[in-house]
Amino acid sequence: MNQSGKKCQRDLDALAYFFQNPPHLPGIKCKIAELSDLPALLHMERYCFNPFLAFGRRRWRYLIAKSSCSTILLFQQETLVAYLCLLPHRGWQGLEIRSLAVHWLHRQKGLGRWLMHLSQSLAQQWHLKSLYLSVDCENTAARTLYQQSGLQTSAKLADYYGMDRHGLRMRLDFRD
């Protein structure tokens, strides 16, 4: 199967998970990101991340159209409320969470936890050995979510998010 075919299959796997295990919120719809979703993604990035760190139009365009990333979007009444961008690394045999965001009006409702379950399920389904991500040391809500999902700190990333803004590499290893 070529790279494009593998990405299509991964996208289908993500949608299948949604239909088998929907979030416990009324009216949530799931789709795979397309270029037409760029305005909604950019709008959400501005609300959720430091503008110097947020993914811009060019990066999102690349991630959606050309990379092997799968970006899963959750909508409620036509409004993007959460997304998850996953990048499988065959060489490292791991799945990287490139970005995960939940709109501030929809936090503490289980969407972040649901996206973490989705990530873990897909990593195991795709026979990857680990799930990992980077997080700002100051983002205690995200760190707590990741720790509750079983990820552990594997490295400290000095100045990763800018001068004196350190990050953590967090990782969850799966047993064979």
Task: Give 39-61 pLDDT, tens digit per residue.
Answer: 999 999 888 887 777 898 999 99
Q: Are 158 and 118 in contact (CB under 8 A)?
A: no
Q: What is the DSSP string of 13-73?
A: HHHHHHHHS--SSTTEEEEE--GGGHHHHHHHHHHHS-TTTS--HHHHHHHHHTSS-EEEE
Q: For residues 9 and 106, give the distance between their C-alpha atoms in angstroms, rounded to a whole number.
A: 29
In a domain, 160, yes or no: no
Say which CATH number the domain at 73 has: 3.40.630.30
Count of domains observed in the chain: 1
Place of tokens 């700002």: 136
Place of tokens 């400290």: 156
Mean pLDDT of the chain: 90
Q: Going by C-beta distance under 8 Å and a sequence separation of 6 or more, which residues neighbour residue 173?
A: 129, 130
User: What's the predicted TM-score (pTM) here?
Assistant: 0.89
In a domain, 7, yes or no: yes
In a domain, 146, yes or no: no
In a domain, 98, yes or no: yes
In a domain, 22, yes or no: yes
Supply the range of the domain harboring residue 24.
3-133
In a domain, 150, yes or no: no
pLDDT (average), residues 153-176: 88
In a domain, 145, yes or no: no
Total Cβ atoms within 10 A of residue 120: 17
105-120 confidence digits (pLDDT tens): 999 999 999 999 999 9
